[in-house]
Amino acid sequence: MPRVLILFTGGTIGMRYDPAVGAAVPALSARELLEHDPALQSLAELDIYEYGQYPGPHMSLERIWEVSEILRRELARSDIAGAVVTHGTDTLEETAYLLDLRHTSPKPAAVVGAMRTVSEPGFDGPANLSAAIRTVLSPQARGQGVFVVLNQMIHAASEATKTDTHQLETFQSPVFGPLGLVDVDRVIFGRRLIDRVVIDGPRIETRVDLVTMCAGADGRFIDFARESGARGIVIEGTGRGNVTPEAVPAIQRAIDAGIPVVIATRCAHGRVLDIYGYEGSGHDLRQRGVLFAGTLNAAKARIRLAVILGKTQDPGEVRALMECGAY
């Protein structure tokens, strides 16, 4: 049988209700989780790596980077056919995207979680694990990088995002849709990514801040990011990638200080584009030197900028790496 790495980092998939606390807490090890459904052992030889029992919000950039290092090392083993990483769903898309940006192996990997704990009816952990294992064993998955697999759907790590706080179908690819699905008898891919971006650097820059725009927002948080040592700033703008006039001076001060500033959109669908010409518009920001995130949401844009700045601080290279790829 092929051998698949199960890299366990925690999340709801490893939680159960604790009556003493009155809420769900980390509880299950990877082995206990796998024992919950013995049929998982029939899919492949499962090689377990117990990284931790971290809820999604506890996964820092340092920990995500460490997980990526472990994944790269383990996938280099000749006996490993693919890998499945368990993760809390709150930050799953950020980890999956960082893993994908650094994924140079043809061997596939999938990041998986659960929306219900083992204490709840309809615990979805084993079914999601099964789908993820089957996905990375599919010949069609080779060379496609890292997937997000939940609720029988296969998403590209660069496109998947959590859209609902509780529903099983929470992970969607709003712009382009899923890559495929896991059916009863087979794994079906309906499309492939045209252009996967890989940025292989030696470290990650953790001092990258994210600021959200809203009606009446000013530049205080942008100024605070610059003054407190941010090495990069991502702005979650409105619409096509616009900000309030009051935020523009702070953005300019960051650019003048040599800090890369990236504009993304808070909209669930679409890409940022410089089609408007008023103060604070995408066109205005582009003229000032702001970088565009394309279809990446703000959280993923922050991950990408953090990886880029761990590789280079050259402004031209930063722009090229931030804006390359299919949008």
Condensed to tens digits (0 to 9), the pLDDT of residues 171-222 reads 999 999 999 999 999 999 999 998 899 998 999 999 999 999 999 999 999 9
Q: Which of 66-75, 277-286, 305-314, 316-325 has the lowest mean pLDDT?
A: 316-325
d(CA 114, CA 274): 38
**34 and 173 share a domain?**
yes
Question: Is residue 241 very low, low, confident or very high in pLDDT (cuts 50, 70, 90)?
Answer: very high
pLDDT of residue 78 exceeding 80, the answer is: yes
Please give the mean pLDDT across all residues of the chain: 97
- Domain span at 166: 3-189
User: HEC string of 162-193?
Assistant: ECCCCCCCCEECCCCCCCEEECCCCEEECCCC
Total structural domains in the chain?
2
CATH number of the structural domain spanning residue 104 = 3.40.50.1170
pLDDT of residue 277 exceeding 60, the answer is: yes
Contact residues for 19 (Cβ-Cβ < 8 A; gap 6+): none
pTM here is: 0.96
Alpha helices by DSSP H, the chain: 30-35, 61-75, 92-101, 125-137, 220-227, 248-256, 282-288, 298-309, 315-323
Mean pLDDT, residues 15-32 taken together: 96
pLDDT of residue 325 exceeding 90, the answer is: no
Q: Name the burial class of residue 128, with classes exposed (0-12), middle (13-18) and buried (19+) by CB atoms within 10 angstroms of its CB.
A: buried
**236 and 313 share a domain?**
yes
Condensed to tens digits (0 to 9), the pLDDT of residues 293-304 reads 999 999 999 999
Residue 288 Ramachandran class (φ > 0 left, ψ -120 to 50 alpha, else beta):
alpha
pLDDT of residue 326 exceeding 80, the answer is: no
Please tell me which residue in 12, 86, 170, 238 is annotated as part of the active site: 12
Instruction: Look up 212 and say whether it is catalytic.
Output: no
> CA 142, 146, 150: angle at the middle one, nearest 5?
110
pLDDT of residue 49 exceeding 70, the answer is: yes
pLDDT of residue 327 exceeding 70, the answer is: no
189, 221, 236 — which closes off a domain?
A: 189
DSSP 120-175: STT--HHHHHHHHHHHHHSGGGTTS-EEEEETTEEEETTT-EE--SS-TT-EE-TT
189, 224, 254 — which closes off a domain?
A: 189
CATH number of the structural domain spanning residue 257 = 3.40.50.40
In a domain, 200, yes or no: no
In this predicted structure, what is the pLDDT of residue 195?
86
